[in-house]
Structure 1
């Protein structure tokens, strides 16, 4: 079995976990999203610390906090990824998984646009056309539904800017995400204390504090750490072994599974306007992927 095959297999598995994660968070739909997000942060931190201790990478992890510039980048990245995670959890809980799926389809094109604006990366005519198709898709959905798809845009934009910051951090995905959950951990612990001891209700106006009170919910909240960490570890493994062009293509499996679950399992509305918007996005991604592969074959 070649290293490339192992890398592609790891990437497929990572995207399957990400793509099926709406089923996991839907099972926790009765738990307020901030409570779920806090547990996701806590148990991710526990898993990452255990992994780094096993791999003897704690020194590498701690060195990230010796530079003021790096700490600022970690703090901003933590804010962006926690917003993205929280919004994703909320969208699944309130029946907006279709919008969530669309957001993760738009993200690659947002990333390309940010690369052009921030890093002055030159885009080809085909890439600009793909970005334009994505914009037309969003405008079409806005006009058709008479509402801006804010969830989709927020997920794509927060993840896009998160990617910009990750490009400036000289650390692998596992170490950098461990640092991000580490700086979020105090807020998560404070919130969980407030929920359990002080009856805090948060954004949704209800309080549960289910951890320890219900065995199923307790287990699911603990597993949220693995649902977060395992695909990131697989992604890290894949990115070192598989060509980046293939890694990029396989990532579309994630929003495809999310969309299928939203429509066929959650039975969310999927109007003609959604169909047009998704068709435009799929066309843009197909063209973008073909262009990327074509350029890769010329340089390879």
Structure 2
């Protein structure tokens, strides 16, 4: 029972932090999204490296890194995973700054259904009737937006798509979470550092003109990135997957309320209809999991 309660505590911590993350990026709205992303990678690498150093797990990181890059397959998967997560993080930060938090929330509601679809396409898994109905409901919800807006809700589709690809690649890589996070951030960090250097000699980076608050927020990007991921890992080890599955809807629900109630983003009849279809799909998906 103690493990169960601890797992719930870790899970709530992870999903609450992910849920309020838009507020953090909104505090950096005066900084360009790409520059925030570059800082996120660099400071995440620093933060996780210090954690490994403090916990005496640097040797484990070295051993696992050697194993990952010992074969072409796992090395390529790690590089691709780093690219996928960079797209995911970048789109999310841009969308928050652009006042599209509601759309990011929709994307993370779609995410588990996208994973189901990936299971069919890439892992040849078979869908139960309820799961087919669940994916169909989400497709109808997206269709409502396409018909009304005359285009794809690309943020709501790209976020779960990149994260589903990321998850698929991570199935092939066997490594502890801190190893994985550090490797992914280290692989992108040279590009991030190069981008910041380019800005410094052309337009100028935020470091050349920012106040102390901005500097601290940028440095804190490493902690706000790694902390929920580590809490989630601890949660997943202590709880059954169906409980973890229920908890994952906390973060998009919080983000949705933040977008509508705090930042005044529109929640129109069309948006409500689309969300209704997606929620119906999720209800069917959850029911199929319970029945199994």
* Partner in structure 2 of residue 46 of structure 1: 46
* Partner in structure 1 of residue 58 of structure 2: 58
Check whether the contact 1:211–1:218 (CA below 8 A) recurs between aligned residues: no
Shift of 1:173: 2.8
* Partner in structure 2 of residue 16 of structure 1: 16
Aligned counterpart for 1:68 among listed residues 66, 72, 88: 72
Cα displacement string for residues 93-121 of structure 1 (whole angstroms, at most 9, x for unaligned residues): 01111111111111110000001110111
Alpha-carbon distance in structure 2 between the residues aligned to 1:35 and 1:211: 13
Check whether the contact 1:41–1:188 (CA below 8 A) recurs between aligned residues: yes
Alpha-carbon distance in structure 2 between the residues aligned to 1:211 and 1:7: 43
**How many matched pairs?**
288
1:219 counterpart = 2:222: no
Aligned counterpart for 2:231 among listed residues 196, 210, 234: 234
Aligned counterpart for 1:116 among listed residues 120, 142, 155: 120
1:30 counterpart = 2:30: yes
SS at match of 2:267: coil
Aligned counterpart for 1:199 among listed residues 197, 202, 213: 202
Alpha-carbon distance in structure 1 between the residues aligned to 2:177 and 2:263: 31
SS at match of 2:127: coil
CA RMSD for the aligned pairs?
A: 1.4
* Partner in structure 1 of residue 145 of structure 2: 141
Alpha-carbon distance in structure 2 between the residues aligned to 1:283 and 1:104: 15
SS at match of 1:115: helix
Structure 2 regions of 5+ residues with no counterpart? Answer: none
Alpha-carbon distance in structure 1 between the residues aligned to 2:120 and 2:176: 23
Alpha-carbon distance in structure 2 between the residues aligned to 1:211 and 1:69: 42
Instruction: State TM-score, norm by structure 1.
Output: 0.92
SS at match of 1:210: helix
SS at match of 2:206: coil
Q: Which runs of 4+ in 1 moved over 4 A?
A: none
1:277 counterpart = 2:274: yes
Structure 1 regions of 5+ residues with no counterpart? Answer: 201-206, 296-300
Instruction: State TM-score, norm by structure 2.
Output: 0.95
